[in-house]
Structure 1
Amino acid sequence: MNKILELNHLTKKFGNLTAVNDLSFTIEKGNVYGILGPNGSGKSTTLGIVLNVVNKTSGEFKWFGNRENTHEALKKVGAIIESPNFYPNMSAEDNLKLVCKIKDVPYSKIEEKLKIVDLADRQKSKFKSFSLGMKQRLAIASALLNDPEILILDEPTNGLDPQGIHQIRQIIKNIAAEGMTILLASHLLDEVEKVCSHVVIIRHGKMLYAGSVDQMNATHGFFEVAANDSKKLEEFLNVQTYIEHFKIDDNGTYKAFLNKDFMADEFNKIAAESDIYFSHLIKRKETLEEQFLELTKP
């Protein structure tokens, strides 16, 4: 696949604070990537570096296989990294005409992009009359005017109501379905799970996971168990080779994580042969949320 963006050991320090810490990952054409992490994890700083608005401390990044300099490469990038900022007393159409002049693209692109973000019927309306969701959709239209090879969005649904969130996510899905490569930063796991094919999880500027969302979900699951004799249960769990590790929840229930596929009825049978009888036994798959919380816990 074609490489759109490569980060190699990228680091950014602000005095004693390391905002981005030795970050390396690759964005490939045609996928939707989510940079996921808690607030303050370095997501926005990372985007700022690759968009040339924040200077890196060390490491490197390459656009489009480094075939051209960053200034030329960014002409093929559409990005929204701040709140939508247009002239309030001008119409949506007139605001986009200014962007067309800056990006040197024909006005004919305006109607096409407004249709994509479902604002064609409001092109004559003043920007100040728009809701926050509509402003964000206009910003996406603006970022698409130059038909970029990649669209970069920083917290695209931040501050929106549920309807606005749904509209933005649907627009992202529609754009992605047309083959657009998208990179979005978010602290919302639900957002990444619903719209992204790949995820990069960072905490304190350091990468914890990079790969497909499906691959992250492809665990063998775990048994949720309880028994009257906790000591005997722990001894049993410790010697089962198909159990990678286990932990105890606050309610006294054990979670035994599997390193291969294993059926609950077989597990119950083996336990009974060891004179252990479960008062509770459920086999479950880890949700993406559970894995995210496990990765990003303090």
Structure 2
Amino acid sequence: MIAADGWADPQLLPGPTRQPVAVRTVPRAPASRRAGTHRRHRPVPRDEAAAWTERIIIARGLQLGQNEARRRYDRLAQQHPHHATAQAALLQQLCPKWSGDGDRAFAFARECAQAAPVGAPNAVLVVEAHLERWLDFDTDRERTAYVRSTPVAEEIMQAAQRSMLHPDFVDRPGWVWVRSSFALMFSLTDRPWWEVAMIVVSGVAVLVTGAASLLVTYVMAAAGTEPGQEWLWGVVVAAWLLTVILAWPIVLLWRRRGDEAGPHPRWPMIHRAG
């Protein structure tokens, strides 16, 4: 225990002599100065960018709120305006699962992608935002309809052309995250193999039967038919009917693609992309 005069209580000191010992005390700063210490903004050195990125993550883990997370990011962005890792950390904070808002998350992702120079990895934030929204759906049908809609596919392609598909893109630290995120989204937006196979098979079958039917029709119309061969016209009609039936899967799949590209009732804002 330290007395008011700066001397330690001899009863609390170890040893046989228990002689008073002088202890230096440091006076605390006034409360007014202590309250304003955190407001003294100094530039964030380059070697502390990773630490400030972790501070954004810590703010999310401690549930300090949107404003505090944004304040920490703004401090970092003053010296590092295109720090992709820090932007990804704040993007998570802006998502609905962390008491954020989907519109604000998309707005932030698109702003970072457009502000960064071409060839930078920042456009991957657009992919992250779409993946977060994709995960928010309840059924596989809704997820599939979302990622394969035309506005989403076009925005993902534009983001890729601005980042990893651009000639200026370099595989710097973090490139695995960027390329993997785009690869995942491209795999989700791609059509199932069986649909592609059905379209190819149907297209080839329509081409063969249609060409054969056209050739037979031309020959029969030019040469005519002899008595007793009228049944050949029935074969021609059947061939044309088979051509239409084989083309029907292509029509159905094309209509399905159009339905998927239409407005989605739960997420209309994806049609305002860009």
RCO comparison, higher one (Cα < 8 Å, 6+) = 1
Q: TM-score, normalised by structure 1?
A: 0.29
User: Whose strand fraction is larger, Structure 1's or Structure 2's?
Assistant: 1
Higher Rg = 2
Q: Higher helix proportion, which one?
A: 2
